[in-house]
Amino acid sequence: MLNPKVLSKGVLSTACLARSSISVPLFTLNSLMCIIEEHMCIQNLQSIDRIQSFTSTGYSLREGMSSMASGSTSLKLFKNKYLHFTLPTNFRDEDAARRKLQDFSQPQHSILRSSFLGRSQTLSHSVFYPWLLHSHQYSSYNNGKELSDLASKVLNGLPKFVKIVEVGPRDGLQNEKDIVPTNVKIELIRRLIASGLPVIEATSFVSPKWVPQLADAKDVMEAIREIKGVSLPVLTPNLKGFEAAVANGAKEISVFASSSESFSKSNINCSINDSLARYREVTLAAEKHSIPVRGGPRWEVALRMSVFLEESTL
C-alpha cells in the first residue's frame, strides 16, 4: 500500500492525470463521517448520490468493498481501512493539495470545506493515513445514473394493465394423486368466484389417461356453466378437447405451447410444431364459435423440466 511519504512527485503528477483520491482512516463514525459529509459536501457530488444517513450528522457506508462509478467523483473503501475519495478539485499546486489533504485527517473542518467543494477539474492525489482504525469496514455505493436508468426502464416497461388468472381448480389439482371429489372442486370454484377473482380456469378437457384428476371436467362444467359475471376458461390441448369443452358449456378456452421440445413431448405427447398445428385447428374452431382463446409460451423453467430456453425459441 502506498505510503504518503513515498508518494513521489512523479506518482502524484501521474495520478493527477487520472483522478484524485484520498484515503483517510475512519475513526469514530460520528466525528469523521459528519466531517466528510458536511465539509466534503459529499452528498452534492455528482456521482455519489446514495449515502445513507447513519446518524443525524454522520452517515454509514455499507459493509464490504465497493467502488463508485467513475465520473468525476468516486468514493471507495480501501483495503478495509481507508475511505478512498476521488474528488473534483483543481489544485494547481500539488504541494498545496498535499497539505490540504493532509489537513483532512485533522479535525479542522473549515479547511475541508474550502478544499473540496465541487470544482470542475479533477486532481489526482493519493494520500494514505496509516492510522489505527476501529474494526469497522465501510463502503459506500453509488446508485448513480445506471440505477436510475434501470429503474425508469423497469417502470416504463410495466404494462398498463395486468390480468390475473386463477388456475387453482385446474393447474392446482391436476397433479394431485388422490382424486378430489367433483363437488369439492365445484365448491372451490364457487369460493374463488366469491372472492372476487375475475377469471378462474375451471378444468381441462384432456385425456383421462394422462390427467385422471380432471376426468370429471364435464360434471364440473355442468355445475358452473350458468354462472354469470366471471370468466371460466378451460384448457383444451387439441380439437377433441375443444369440441368436448364447447359441448359442455365452455365460453372461453386456453391453450399452452411449450418453449422446449422436452416439455412439449412429455406434456402433450407431441413436438412444438405439432402442438402449434393443433392450436391452429383449435383457434380456427374457436373463432367460428366466437369463443375467446388465451394462450402463450409456458415457462417450464419453474417446472420440474427446468430448461434453459433459447430466446429465439421463445
Among 207, 231, 248, 283, interactor with ligand HMG by CB under 6 A = 207
Of 190 and 298, the one with the shorter C-beta distance to ligand HMG is 298
**Per-residue string for binding with ligand HMG, 154-173, x by CB under 6 A?**
-----------------x--
Window of 19-27, 38-46, 139-147, 203-211 that interacts with ligand HMG by CB under 6 A: 203-211
Shortest Cβ 206–ligand HMG spacing (Å) = 3
Sole binder of ligand HMG in the list 60, 67, 143, 174 (CB under 6 A): 174
Could you tell me if 129 and 82 are in contact, meaning their C-beta atoms sit under 8 angstroms apart?
yes
CB 262 within 8 A of CB 307: yes
* Binding-site member from 269, 271, 273, 313 for ligand HMG (CB under 6 A): 269
Q: Which of 267, 282, 286, 291 binds ligand HMG (CB under 6 A)?
A: 267
HEC profile of 247-269 = HCCCCCEEEEEECCHHHHHHHHC
Which of the stretches 4-12, 87-95, 155-163, 232-240 binds ligand HMG when contact is defined by CB under 6 A?
A: 232-240
Q: How many angstroms separate the CA atoms of 247 and 98, rounded?
A: 87
| 129 near ligand HMG, rule: CB under 6 A | no
Closest CA to 139 of 15, 34, 52: 52
> Residue 60 interacts with ligand HMG (CB under 6 A)?
no
Q: Per CB under 6 A, which region of 87-95, 103-111, 198-206, 285-293 contacts ligand HMG?
A: 198-206
Please tell me whether residue 206 binds ligand HMG under the rule CB under 6 A. Answer: yes
- The Cα 189–Cα 192 span in angstroms is 5
- In this structure, what C-alpha cell is assigned to residue 197? 377473482
Say whether residue 286 binds ligand HMG (CB under 6 A).
no
Provide the pairing of β-strand 82-86 with 126-128. unpaired
| Angle, helices 272-288/261-268, rounded to nearest 10 degrees | 60
Phi, psi (rounded to 5 degrees) for 308: -95, 115
**Cα 68-69-75 angle, rounded to 5 deg:** 25
How many chain residues interact with ligand HMG (CB under 6 A)?
21
Contact positions toward ligand HMG, by CB under 6 A? 171, 174, 204-207, 210-211, 235, 237-238, 240-241, 244, 256, 267-270, 298-299
